[in-house]
């Protein structure tokens, strides 16, 4: 399961196991150039950027910004 599947606050009869051999997953936002995205899509993208910027680094296994790309690629 991905690191974000079990948040730290969730308690139960399980434990986290790190598998160092697995590469990081990269999740991105993709959209067409044309037609331009509508207002609802632009609003959602804006909210997602704010939430990720504010909360992303606090989640174990989530990497935000340049460190999200382990192979030296940038956005």
The pTM (predicted TM-score) of the whole model is 0.58
pLDDT of residue 70: 63
Percent of the chain with pLDDT over 70: 85
Report angle CA 68, 72, 75 to the nearest 5 degrees. 60
Mean pLDDT value across residues 59-67: 76
pLDDT of residue 71: 61
pLDDT in tens, 22-58: 777 777 788 888 998 999 999 999 999 898 888 888 8
Residue 74 falls in which region: left (phi positive, over 0), alpha (psi -120 to 50) or beta: beta
Q: Taking Cα atoms as reference points, which of 14, 13, 25, 3 lies closest to residue 71?
A: 25
């Amino acid at each position: 399961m991905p690191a974000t599947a079990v948040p730290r606050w969730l308690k139960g009869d399980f434990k986290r196991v790190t598998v160092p051999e697995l590469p990081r997953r990269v999740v991105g936002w993709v959209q067409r150039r044309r037609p331009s995205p509508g207002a609802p899509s632009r609003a959602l993208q804006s909210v997602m950027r704010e939430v990720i910027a504010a909360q992303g680094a606090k989640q174990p296994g989530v990497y935000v910004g340049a460190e999200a790309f382990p192979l030296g690629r940038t956005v």
